[in-house]
Each structure stands twice: as structure tokens, then as C-alpha cells.
Amino acid sequence: MVIGHLQITLAQYASAPDFETQEADDFRDLLTSVIQLAKGGSVTAAATSEAEKLLAESLKQSALQQTASLQKGLDGLLVALLVDGNEESYSHIRQIVIEQATHRADVDRRWFSLMGFDPEIREIMNA
């Protein structure tokens, strides 16, 4: 089993930076969209400002650090929207978050397909 995991790790090693960059780009696009759509009271405004700051700072970070910063900004903003966000804005944001989560789940399933834990992914990838 250990040898199998090492083989999988070696197989993914060269592609890992691209995977990490794609993940960071996906979260950057999502946070940018959420910032643009976020409307609400003072809590949402403060979280939007913080998210904008984290978004700008993320450009100077490695892909893994970018993802962590972008997720932090996204989490803060989504929680703020629950406190005093505009209902229509929240509804629209919820839809794009679900779409992005579905996309990332598919990307992650494909990435981890070599592990063999997801028997359905082979069929999806071959379709």
C-alpha cells in the first residue's frame, strides 16, 4: 500500500503546481464575483473591504497561500452576508458558490482518481 501511494505521489508530483495554481485561480474568480455581488449592511461592508484586501495581497503569495487567503476572505464575506446581507444578493451568491463547489469537486475527484477510492470517477472521465 505504501509503495502504491508513493507511485501515485510521484505521478502527480510534476502536475501539482498547475493543480495548485488552478485552485487558486478558481477561488480568486469566485471571491471576485462574490465581492462584486455582495450587498448589505455594515457587517457585509466590512467583510467586503477585508476580502478586497486579502484578494489584493494574495497576488504576492504562492498558490497554496493564495488559496488559503482567498478562502479566508470568502468565508468572512459569506458569514457576513448571513448577518446583514441583501436577500437577493445572497441568493445569487449562493448559486455561484454552489456552481464553483461542483466544479472544484469534479476537479478534485479527477485529481485523486489515481487513488482508486472513487469507482464512479473512471466512468465519468471516460464519458
Q: What is the pLDDT of residue 5?
A: 72
3-58: pLDDT as tens digits: 777 877 787 888 899 999 999 999 999 999 999 999 999 999 999 999 999 999 99
Is pLDDT above 90 for 1? no
Q: What is the pLDDT of residue 17?
A: 93
Q: For 84-112, what is the mean pLDDT?
A: 94
Q: 55 is in which domain, residue-wise?
A: 20-125
- 11 in a domain, yes or no? no
Domain count, the chain: 1
If pLDDT is split at 50, 70 and 90, which confidence band does 127 have? low
**123 vs 84, higher pLDDT:** 84
- 26 in a domain, yes or no? yes
- 14 in a domain, yes or no? no
Average pLDDT, the chain: 91
- 12 in a domain, yes or no? no
Q: For 111-118, what is the mean pLDDT?
A: 78
Is pLDDT above 80 for 119? no
- 2 in a domain, yes or no? no
- 91 in a domain, yes or no? yes
Task: Please state, in angstroms and as integers, the Cα–Cα distance from residue 7 to each residue in 1, 80, 114, following that order.
Answer: 10, 44, 10
Closest CA to 31 of 63, 61, 56, 64: 56
85 Cβ contact partners less than 8 Å away, ≥ 6 residues apart: 38, 39, 40, 41, 44, 93
- 7 in a domain, yes or no? no
How much of the chain, in percent, has pLDDT values that exceed 70? 98
pTM higher than the cut 0.75: yes
- 5 in a domain, yes or no? no
Whether the Cβ atoms of residue 124 and residue 65 lie closer than 8 Å to each other: no
